[in-house]
Amino acid sequence: MKRMVGIHLFVLLVLAATCTVATVGFAEEKVVTLKVSNWFPVGHKQDVLLQEWGKELEKRSNGKVKVNYYAGGTLVPAAQSYDAVVKGIADVSNHVMGYTMGRFPFSQVLDLPIGFPAGPGPTKIANEVYKKFKPKEFDDVKILWFHAMPYGLVHTKTKPVRKVEDIAGLKLRCYGSNAKFVGLVGAAPVAMPMPDVYDALAKGVVDGCLSSYEALHGFRTGEHIKYCTENLDTAYSAAFVVAMNKKTWASLSPEVQKLIDEMSPEYIEKYAKMWTEIDAKGKEWLISRGVEIIPLSAQEESRWYEKGSKPLVEAYIKDTKAKGLPGEEAVAFLTESFKEYKK
């Protein structure tokens, strides 16, 4: 009898151990699904690259992470993409900081019209600024990386802008700090996100826009543009942040977190290269269409800066100082960084 009881106990222990192992194995095989949102249209290089990140994460995690990717603003529109991550509507999103003015008072320095360079510089600088200053305005998300477009310039539909007086009265699409810049140089600012610009130009809602060369190509807005004014000393950039919901981040295993952190520097480089390539391609496309590229003299550049950019820089420094933020140091950091990337 005792022998039978012992056998039964042994069998029960084996079964319990087997169930425990199966349960642990099941837990280890649990797949995390991430909702990744992007408002760029399908096929745009921005769409392709963020989608690539998701596929690469799936591959490197050996299937422990699955990514559901939403392009073209199908999950959330451009202006709401940051809030969507904070609230958990999306787990990861690509957001233009200038679309939410006032949300990032310190990092607003990254879209001031103060002479941002072409090429990879703006993306590298945006990440360097975050690394150096670690602004608390991003504490409500997990930062993956920043990227930023090459210089944004003035582009017009029918009237060439060769001097600051030529811009007077024109209705120009803009956003963020650039709306104030447009007003200061004498034009009428019309704030709108990039997906709305094509129709606005076609219907005469605006006479031109502030944008990079790549956007004129990628969003086809250049089909309505005849003149591009290279106001280099007052060129702006559009800084983007790719961020993850904090609860989502906390729910990931240490191994997956480490993997994501390892991938982020790689994608800073990929985005810097992507921006450089598509901006150059955009300019080439415009020239092939007969668009006139208008350079400004050094004297004219100075006039634009004094009238449009200097007041914004002074206001930014004053506002950030009042908030206890190192705005003046940030402007100095950017100005010094430009020297390196404009060589």
Query: What are the boundaries of each domain within the chain?
Result: 31-97+119-148+238-280, 153-237+289-341
Check residue 14 and give its pLDDT: 40
Check residue 29 and give its pLDDT: 54
Check residue 33 and give its pLDDT: 98
Residue 2, pLDDT > 60, answer no
| Tens-digit pLDDT profile for residues 48-62 | 999 999 999 999 999
* Count of residues making up the chain: 343
Non-local (6+) Cβ contacts of 336 within 8 A are: none
Non-local (6+) Cβ contacts of 278 within 8 A are: 45, 214, 217, 218
**Rounded mean pLDDT, 122-131:** 98
Confidence of residue 28 (pLDDT cuts 50, 70, 90): low
Phi, psi of 92 (to 5 degrees): -140, 140
| Tens-digit pLDDT profile for residues 60-104 | 999 999 999 999 999 999 999 999 999 999 999 999 998 898 999
Confidence of residue 13 (pLDDT cuts 50, 70, 90): very low
Residue labelled with tokens 């609230």: 87
Residue 7, pLDDT > 70, answer no
Percent of the chain with pLDDT over 90: 86
Check residue 123 and give its pLDDT: 98
Q: Does domain 31-97+119-148+238-280 have CATH number 3.40.190.10?
A: no
Structural class in CATH, domain 153-237+289-341: alpha beta
Q: CB of 66 within 8 A of CB of 58?
A: yes
153-237+289-341 matches 31-97+119-148+238-280 in CATH topology? yes
Q: Which of 25-39, 43-57, 147-161, 301-315 has the lowest mean pLDDT?
A: 25-39
| Tens-digit pLDDT profile for residues 268-298 | 999 999 999 999 999 999 999 999 999 999 9
Residue 288 and residue 305: Cα distance in Å, rounded?
30
Residue 302, pLDDT > 70, answer yes
Q: CB of 324 within 8 A of CB of 123?
A: no
